Amino acid sequence: MIIFEEHLAELHSGSPRSWGSLASDTLTWESEGEQRVLALDEIVGAAISPDSPNNLPSFIVSVYPLVRSNIFQQRRRMLREYRFVCTDERIRNRWIRAINNTLRGVEDVDTILPPRHLHVILNPTSGNQNPREIFDRISSVLAASNSQWTLTETQEAGDAAKIAYNLPLDKIDGLVVVGGDGTVHEAINGLMRRSDWKRAIEIPIGTIPAGTGNGLCKTVLEIAGEPDDAVSAAFAIAKGNVRSFDLVRVQQANHRYYSILSLSWGLVSDVDIESERLRWLGSLRSDLYALLRILKLRTYRGRFSFVRAVTEPRGDDCHSTSSSNSESPNSEWQTIEDEFVLVWAMNLPWAAGDMKVAPGASAWDGAMEVFVVRQGVSKWRLLQALLQIADGSHTRVPGMEFYKVCKLQLEPFTRQGILAVDGEKVDYSPVKMEVLNGWIRVFGAN
């Protein structure tokens, strides 16, 4: 369906009286006797050009197609700018409104929409790269999408939660986190502590990968069919597509909080937390420490209880959208009491950009996938599984167990050990988790 038609010409390629048309999925115009087409899926926005050649009103359309520099490289989003001239300012302004409004789902070309306003939380100490440099590199993508933002940097642990807790919800259209999953975890918990939390979690959340682990961002980009890099993450936010993701309620003693990614105990949390002192090794840190821990393998005695997830149809045993902790009379809890090498509960498929821990997990199915390894599995099998975890093929290694659950309880019996939620160390005490189906909204997932 044609949304808008008017005079339009690409700069230096045609007469200003050439004709162009905008549909819900394409922008089309004539250039040097040929029809040119841009897919709206690749356009992030239109804006007035800073210069006006031959005193003709002009504007720029910013496009980020997937481009492969050579046969050895993966495709990446690369900026292409198309400059157009119009016969007068009125037509130019209508073209800009038509394109930007259509990108935001508004087909009335005369409606004047204000720029989107984002609040950006940047953790300058996150990961092994420089989050400030990463944001500087991708901010032009957001600017091209007719977005403005307020940038706040964290100074210490817990700041992201404080910032999210105090956000002026009526003045923002989205929250963007530049950091890793731990910073996202803080921000979500800040939103959930608010008295108006039901309104707060309606604010879409986007993430720019700048942490050690970027499982949420990797999952979003995979769903959207995008490359795993910061520019693609910014492009996904700029496009403004939003989807509901599951959230997980966590209860430890009298402390309630929320998780977006994972719970880990045993080998995984030991490597994640204890290897912090080896940060100087960079990306090798986790691999080398994991090898050491496999050679000197620890086991932990405990009890893992769970309710299996029922997806179609959803039964009474799993009220994942319930706001209470009550269990239905039909709940069937199963329990495993044993010596564990690891328990790794995943709300999303990816724990990091190179770790597809739970290939069977979905971001919105009301369930977690739990990866369990018990005592008795050989060190060779365990090493084999960790080597294959990058593409998810570790699921085929003998001795690796997987459970699809909507509720779980984990009770460590050992005095010493590490529990981590979303990659961050938490109290070493019994923990309960329940999936809350579709509770948060995330930018970028089609």
Note the pTM of the prediction, 2 decimals. 0.90
Place of tokens 């803080």: 186
181 annotated active-site: yes
Spatial separation of the C-alpha atoms in residues 230 and 176, rounded to whole Å: 12
Q: Where are the domains of the chain?
A: 2-103, 116-240, 255-434
* Alpha-carbon distances of 16 from 12, 265, 411, 435, rounded to whole Å: 10, 65, 72, 57
- 363-384, pLDDT tens digit by residue? 999 999 999 999 999 999 999 9
* CATH level 2 (architecture), domain 116-240: 3-Layer(aba) Sandwich (3.40)
Written out in words, the top-level CATH class of the domain with range 2-103 is mainly beta
Distance of CA 95 to the CA centre of its chain: 32
Predicted pLDDT of residue 283: 63
Query: At CB < 8 A and 24+ separation, what contacts does 18-23 make?
Result: 20/84, 20/95, 22/95, 22/98, 22/99, 22/102
Spatial separation of the C-alpha atoms in residues 409 and 429, rounded to whole Å: 11
* CATH level 2 (architecture), domain 255-434: Sandwich (2.60)
- Per-residue pLDDT tens, the chain, 446 aa: give them: 899 998 898 887 656 678 899 999 999 998 877 899 999 999 999 999 988 777 889 999 999 999 987 777 789 999 999 999 998 999 999 999 999 999 999 989 889 999 999 999 999 998 778 999 999 999 999 999 999 999 999 999 999 999 999 999 999 999 999 999 999 999 999 999 999 999 999 999 999 999 888 999 999 999 999 999 999 999 999 999 999 999 999 999 989 999 999 999 999 999 989 887 766 666 667 788 888 899 999 999 999 999 999 854 333 445 443 333 334 445 689 999 999 999 999 999 999 999 999 999 999 999 999 999 999 999 999 999 999 999 999 999 999 999 999 999 999 999 999 999 999 999 999 999 999 999 999 998 76
Characterize the bridge pairing of strands 174-179 and 116-122: parallel
Q: Which of 25, 88, 110, 181 does the annotation list as catalytic?
A: 181
The partner residues of 37 in beta bridges, in order of sequence, read: 28
Predicted pLDDT of residue 285: 73
